[in-house]
């Protein structure tokens, strides 16, 4: 007999229905981290308690998935430069924030 594995949505909806953005975040976490649906659901649920921060992370991860699928050879030099500029600034900002957080504020 084969074990049936629950999806991120099923894990999240065990106790209460979760908003679609939380399910989406959990599914993206599972893809990026290659973790179980239960762990991804727990992470998404925990982040959903932060409201706008969780939603922002869902937007960042969703945007990253779109960017990963772009054929950059089909973009103009200006489009590539703008994307590089924006992504670089976001990454640098995240790195600075994580350094501050790891030092305790």
pLDDT in tens, 77-103: 999 999 999 999 998 988 888 776 667
Residues 12 and 49 in one domain: yes
pLDDT in tens, 2-46: 556 889 999 998 878 899 999 999 999 999 888 999 999 999 999
Residues 53 and 7 in one domain: yes
Residues 52 and 76 in one domain: no
Cα dihedral across residues 41, 46, 50, 51: positive or negative:
positive
Q: Global pTM? A: 0.73
Q: How many domains, the chain?
A: 2
Cβ–Cβ under 8 Å, residues 47 and 59: no
**Residue 89 domain boundaries:** 71-105
Residues 15 and 65 in one domain: yes
């Amino acid at each position: 007999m084969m074990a049936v594995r629950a999806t991120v949505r099923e894990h999240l909806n065990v106790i209460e229905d979760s908003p679609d953005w939380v399910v989406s975040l959990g599914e993206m976490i599972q893809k990026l981290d290659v973790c179980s649906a239960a762990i991804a659901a727990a992470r998404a649920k925990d982040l959903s308690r932060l409201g706008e921060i969780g939603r922002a992370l869902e937007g960042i991860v969703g945007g990253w998935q779109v960017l990963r699928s772009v054929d950059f050879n089909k973009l103009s030099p200006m489009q590539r430069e703008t994307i590089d500029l924006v992504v670089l600034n976001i990454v640098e900002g995240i790195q600075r924030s994580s350094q501050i957080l790891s030092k305790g504020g």
